[in-house]
A and B are shown apart, each in its own frame.
Chain A
């Protein structure tokens, strides 16, 4: 399974972005400042926004899902049970994993922002998509939920997962780091080599490198191991 951006050019009013690169199986991180075009790029890769130049080629990808940043826009069911069914998932499974047992008949609009985001992600992650695009999946989640999300993503045994996020603190292990910088999608490479070229390198990783210990990847466990090597 791969998705390739062949000199794709994306234009929206006066803003534009050029993107080229190949995404293979595993978790990819696309970082960038707010307003840099991450969400638009996610739409393009999902086939929901056109490119003004170049093309997107998908090979071996038969299913694709995009999670938008604001889950309330996805709501189509009048109850949580209906909403689960609209995603093609079993309500019983989702309610248990999200701690919403007993609230099947509640309207999704009555969930708090954190509950709704957690519920929405659970519905999406319950199915196995070849290409999974997650736009700011960590927003509105607390630290524990961010860590749980990272574990869930790392457990995905197949498929391409692309995270579009400006999150810096709690991240999963990734196979490749990308960033949108200066109107261009840049392939920073595989960690830890990627750290040399990455403008949005997390502060904690930067500090570890300054202290002489380079983490193998960007997850919390990698940071702890790198810290242990210093203390060690």
Chain B
């Protein structure tokens, strides 16, 4: 999907759709199967399975304590899939394009900049994580639960150090608030179809099925 405006709006609608009910999650999942690379996305994004497994763990706890863990697991897993699709489709500059288009060159620029830098930070954390795993192997250490804290410390420290340096760079380069940015969008016909389908999925999720059949008769 080329147009980030439609992509972000579709992701928001589908996430809410999946969150509110299991049928909603089913509609969102169907959309995901039709309009995204599907299984290829899961193969390319190594974070998907760990996140789903983590969700599974919390769902099990919820189920054991009397909650509807299965419903939670289904809904959250679909939200993770939608989120992964949004993350993998994102291209540099798109958050700024969308932010400035929506809210102008002050608040919109600021919001877009925060989102862009957030994505960059996430990429750096992922890259650091891979290097940390490698460094642990060099030390002859085995990866396990006991490694969570030291690895977490390294990643957090790295992220904080980068944040501090980014703040200094922003200040030195004269950032106060807002900036000059000319949004550029490419919208393909299929983007519109996918966006409309997302809206429909949202409507079907909130519309009672019996009401639908009354309208049909």
B135-186 residues at the A interface, CB under 8 angstroms? 135-139, 141, 147, 150, 153-154, 157-158
Choose the segment among B42-50, B96-104, B126-134 that binds chain A (4+ C-beta atoms closer than 8 Å).
B126-134
Residues of B near A77 (CB, < 8 A) are 150
Whether A73 contacts B131 in the complex (CB less than 8 A), given A48-B138, A87-B139, A109-B157, comes out as yes
Residues of A near B158 (CB, < 8 A) are 72
Interface residues in B, total, Cβ within 8 A: 16
Nearest Cβ distance between residue A76 and chain B, in whole angstroms?
4
Main secondary structure, interface of B, reads helix
Residues of B near A223 (CB, < 8 A) are none
Question: Could you tell me if A68 and B138 are in contact, using CB atoms closer than 8 angstroms?
Answer: yes
A37-72 residues at the B interface, CB under 8 angstroms? 43, 46, 48, 65-66, 68, 70, 72
Name the residue of chain A whose CB is nearest to the CB of B129.
A73
Residues of B near A66 (CB, < 8 A) are 138
Q: How far is the CA of A43 from the CA of B134 in the complex (A)?
A: 9
Interface residue from B132, B134, B153, B157 paired with A48 (Cβ < 8 Å): B134
Q: How far is the CA of A217 from the CA of B201 in the complex (A)?
A: 73
Question: Could you tell me if A75 and B138 are in contact, using CB atoms closer than 8 angstroms?
Answer: no
Q: How far is the CA of A65 from the CA of B128 in the complex (A)?
A: 20
Whether A72 contacts B154 in the complex (CB less than 8 A), given A43-B134, A48-B134, comes out as yes
Known: A73-B132, A73-B134, A74-B138. 20 other contacts (CB 8 A): A46-B138, A48-B134, A48-B137, A48-B138, A66-B138, A68-B131, A68-B134, A70-B131, A72-B154, A72-B157, A73-B128, A73-B131, A73-B154, A74-B135, A74-B139, A76-B136, A76-B139, A76-B147, A86-B141, A87-B139
User: What are 18 sample pairs from A and B whose C-beta atoms fall under 8 A apart?
Assistant: A43-B134, A46-B138, A48-B134, A48-B137, A66-B138, A68-B135, A73-B128, A73-B135, A74-B139, A75-B150, A75-B153, A75-B154, A76-B141, A76-B147, A78-B153, A86-B141, A109-B153, A109-B157
Interfacial residues, chain B to chain A (CB-CB below 8 A): 128, 131-132, 134-139, 141, 147, 150, 153-154, 157-158
